[in-house]
Structure 1
Amino acid sequence: MKRLQINTTQNVKINFKLANLGQRVLAFTLDNILKIAYWYTAFYVFDFAGVLGRSSSDYWSRSAIFVIVMSPILLYSLVSEILMNGQTIGKKALRIRVINIDGFKPTISDYLMRWFLRLVDFNIFFLLAVYIYSLNITDDVLFALAAIAFFGGKFVGFISVIITDKSQRIGDISANTVVIYLKDEAKFSQTISEDLQDNYVPKYPNVVRLSDNDARIIKDTFSSASKRNDHATLIKLRKKIEEVTEIKSKEESDTIFIDIVLKDYNYYTQNM
């Protein structure tokens, strides 16, 4: 299994196992079973195709309605990864997750870039499906051609995952993201734990925007920089935390701020 090694600003080395092709294929399969189930329900259980066929709307209106009805398939990965901290239902089942190449939680723009380029390396099928639907062919032929377009459209992405050093598809390369295996997730939680008093009151609710990986990197870098009295690194770390969480420090020093952030993160993750 390929590994990703991240060097923090204080040369603290953090290793992640990259998800292999098998794990990504299985996660992909689970996610697409959900998509196909939605497709089948919309078209065959609720007879969406028949409703559109009987509609008096013009071609472009029908096509617009078609795109709206199919938008849950198109937006599934983007919305899931934003709301589920880099995971879809399939990724969660396989214990894999999308992270930034630097080890931090990706930003919304990272997720957006990654999702948008699925149109190139994974979701060409959706555009083909819209075209196929416009041909006004029989349901059986429509389903067969859509299935071919669906699986054929994934080929580019799979090849990219196989041949790149960090198992990245085109969207990952552009967004500077990788997909990691969370086998050591429990170990991550142990390394970021903090002792909190029973009456501890948190100050920064936005720390929940951090992931366990973020907190681990913050704690390792904070510990190393504090021992060395490296104020320049503490300033950089504070700025990075403010950028990711959209928190503005109210503390007298960067050390106090970062310490509170770590304690708040532990408080919220232990009490959610």
Structure 2
Amino acid sequence: MKTLQIKTAQNININFTVANVGQRLLAFLFDNILKFAYIYFVYYVFDFQAVEETFSGDTWTVQAVGILVLIPVTFYTLYSEILMDGQTLGKKLLHVKVINVDGFKPSVSDYTMRWFLRIVDFNLFILLAVYIQSITINDSDFLLGLTFVVGKLVGLLLILFTPNNQRFGDIIANTVVIYLKDEVKFSETILEELADKYVPTYPNVIKLSDNDARIIKNTFKTAIKFNDYKTLIKLRNKIIEVTQIKSIHKSDREFISVVLKDYNFYTQNM
């Protein structure tokens, strides 16, 4: 399996296992099964045909209802990755997740960009339908459908042949999908000793992931060891950028130390 190596400000190399095309396709398949199950449930259990018959003379209303019904499916990947820290249910099942290529949690804009660019990546279920329809009409329609299919294969081909298995949306959003084979190790490396009556200061630390906390701790320890104050400043600014914390500590060292302890407090007591 391919490995993504991230180098911190102190030249610490952290290795992540990149999710392969099989894992991503299985996660994609599971997510689409959920989408089709939702559509089936809405259209047949709630009898959407009855809605169409009721508003048969009002095409706009029927279309508006159809759009509303499909909103959860359309935005499923986007809101799932935002709310589940880079995972959909399919990704969670396959133990893969989306991270920033620098090792930190992607921003909402990163998730939005990679979701939006799915329009130029692959969708295997649509590919088959368009291809079959194309070969049953005429040559021009066939060529048009074939062009569409080849275009939709861009995402699959990029995952197969790019160094970090990135589709077009990942490349533009600066993200990569990793395999969480070392998920337990991540948690073990971020533990901090806390007093029994420890009172946290920054609730927003929950916006960090285990990966973020591990990188912060490793970089923090090395910066302290070599009295690298520039790295401490950069690390503090990055934490504030990701969490939107309003620091009450003037010392970078004290602030980062409290952030790590607060993260441990909240993750151990949630």
TM-score of the two chains, using structure 2 as the length reference:
0.87
CA contact (8 A) 2:223 2:231 kept: yes
Q: What residue number does 2:42 align with?
A: 42
- Asked if residue 81 in structure 1 is aligned to residue 81 in structure 2, the reply is yes
Residues 53 and 169 from structure 1, CA distance in 2 versus in 1: closer, same or farther, beyond 3 angstroms?
farther
Shift of 1:48: 1.1
**Matched residue of 2:29: which SS?**
helix
Write the distance in 1 (CA, Å) between the matches of 2:197 and 2:209. Answer: 24
- Retained in 1: the 8 A contact 2:52–2:62? yes
- Equivalent residue of 1:67, what SS? helix
How far 1:125 sits from its partner (Å)? 7.3
Deviations, residues 78-136 of structure 1 (Å, cap 9, x unaligned) = 1111110001111111111100010000011111111111122146978xx9xx9xxxx
Residue 25 of structure 1 and its aligned partner are, at CA, apart by 1.0
What is the identity, as a one-letter code, of the residue corresponding to 1:165? P
User: 2:70 is matched with which residue?
Assistant: 70
Structure 1 residues 201 and 30, CA gap change in structure 2 (3 angstroms): same
Q: 1:195 aligns with which of 176, 193, 196?
A: 193
Q: Which amino acid aligns with 1:8?
A: T
Give runs of aligned pairs for residues 102-181 of structure 1, distance below 5 A: 102-122=102-122, 155-181=153-179
| Aligned AA (2:20) | N
Counterpart for residue 246 of structure 1: 244
CA distance in 2, matches of 1:230, 1:57: 72
Provide the rounded CA distance (Å) in 1 between the counterparts of 2:100 and 2:106: 5
1:39-85 C-alpha deviation (Å, 9 max, x unpaired): 11122222213422441453333222211111111111111111100
Kept after mapping to 2: 8 A contact 1:115/1:171: yes
Q: TM-score, structure 1 length as denominator?
A: 0.87
SS at match of 2:192: coil
Amino acid at match of 2:254: I
Whole-Å separation in 1 of the counterparts to 2:48 and 2:157 = 35
Q: Is the 8 A contact 1:52 1:62 kept in 2?
A: yes
Q: Percent identity?
A: 63
CA deviation after TM superposition for structure 1 residue 158, in Å: 1.8
Contact 1:121 1:170 in 2 (8 A): yes
For residues 141-187 of structure 1, give each alpha carbon's deviation from its aligned partner in whole angstroms, at most 9, with x where no partner exists. Answer: xxxxxxxxxx9996332222112111111111111000000010111
SS at match of 1:259: helix
Rounded Cα–Cα distance in structure 1 between residues aligned with 2:60 and 2:119: 22
Counterpart residue number, 1:231: 229
Contact 2:120–2:152 (CA under 8 A) maintained in structure 1: no
In 2, Cα distance between equivalents of 1:53 and 1:213: 52
Distance 2:258 2:2 in 1: 35
Alpha-carbon spacing, 1:230–1:57, altered in 2? closer, same or farther (3 Å): farther
Structure 1: gaps (5+ residues) = 133-150
Structure 1 distance, partners of 2:73, 2:150, is 17
Which secondary structure does the structure 1 equivalent of 2:105 belong to? coil
Question: What is the match of residue 8 of structure 2?
Answer: 8
Q: Note if contact 1:123-1:153 (Cα within 8 Å) is conserved in structure 2.
A: no
Shift of 1:249: 1.4
Q: In the TM superposition, what is the alpha-carbon distance from 1:240 to its structure 2 partner?
A: 0.1
Measure the CA separation in 2 of the matches of 1:259 and 1:57.
Answer: 65
Distance 2:72 2:122 in 1: 16
Q: How much has 1:252 moved relative to structure 2?
A: 2.6
Q: In the aligned structure 1, how far is the partner of 2:207 from the partner of 2:57? A: 44
Alignment-derived partner of residue 267 in structure 2: 269
Aligned ranges for residues 24-63 of structure 1 at < 5 Å?
Answer: 24-56=24-56, 58-63=58-63
Q: How many residues are treated as equivalent by the alignment?
A: 250
3-state SS, counterpart of residue 177 of structure 2: strand
Equivalent residue, structure 1, for 2:220: 222
> Contact 1:123/1:154 (CA < 8 Å) preserved in 2?
yes
What SS is found at the alignment partner of 1:117?
Answer: helix
* Unaligned runs of at least 5 residues, structure 2: 131-148
Distance 1:75 1:124 in 2: 18
Q: Counterpart amino acid of 1:269?
A: T
* Structure 2 match to 1:141: none
